[in-house]
Amino acid sequence: MQLNRVRDLMKIAAVIIVPTASTPCVAFAQDGAQEFRAALIADLQAMRDKFIGLAEAFPQDKYSWRPMAGVRSVSEVLMLAAFEGYNFIPGSFGGQRANLGTPQETGALRTLSDKAEVVEHVKKGFAHAQQQLETIDAATLTASRTLFGTQRTAPNIALFVFGDMHEHLGQLIAYARSNQIVPPWSRAG
């Protein structure tokens, strides 16, 4: 199912990009920006539902579980997803990052392990990302920009950012299965 969303995003990107003669960068046709935005939001919503479903499926006593030393715990993966919604996703597309307080307050959020608080931050992080994607003007959303020191087109940013989020979702699914937790969308009947 996730692979189909990525393929849909790639198809949309292939249809709506128009190379210019003067630059190797890629520009979007105006009518394609709304399709691009809709594809991003649809994928974001699907990931949100799965992250929240898993966050709610893990019992509190498993929030500190990690497969081995030096690897993120369940709560750390979930808070990473929240922070990507608060910051990484909107910032990558030219949107506003969430104001989470002082650097000390923001740092403290990364160590949350209370299930109710973590679930609430995952919900808020995804809601912030969606609100930003909905309101970023088309020219900003589809502009090429530098991300991690590399000039990237909007489709490349989408694949990079959303690919990273899907990787963390897969990590959390593996954590769930290692703990005999069936992802809510995989349950029979």
Q: Look up the CATH architecture of domain 2-186.
A: Up-down Bundle (1.20)
- The answer to whether the CB of 122 falls within 8 A of the CB of 81 is yes
Query: How many angstroms separate the CA atoms of 128 and 124, rounded?
Result: 6
- How confident is the model over 87-112, as pLDDT tens digits? 999 999 999 999 999 999 999 999 99
Query: How many angstroms separate the CA atoms of 138 and 118, rounded?
Result: 32
- The answer to whether the CB of 35 falls within 8 A of the CB of 173 is no
Residues 6+ apart with CB under 8 A from 136: 37, 90, 93, 94, 95
Banded pLDDT at 188 (limits 50, 70, 90): confident
- 75: buried, middle or exposed (CB in 10 Å: 19+, 13-18, 0-12)? buried
Q: Tell me the helix, strand and coil percentages in the chain, rounded to 5.
A: 65, 5, 30
- How confident is the model over 129-146, as pLDDT tens digits? 999 999 999 999 999 999
Instruction: Please state the rounded mean pLDDT for residues 36-57.
Output: 97
DSSP β-bridge partners for residue 27: 18
> Percentage of the chain surpassing pLDDT 70?
83
For residue 51, give the nearest of 162, 153, 189, 138 by alpha carbon: 162
Residues 6+ apart with CB under 8 A from 67: 174, 175, 178
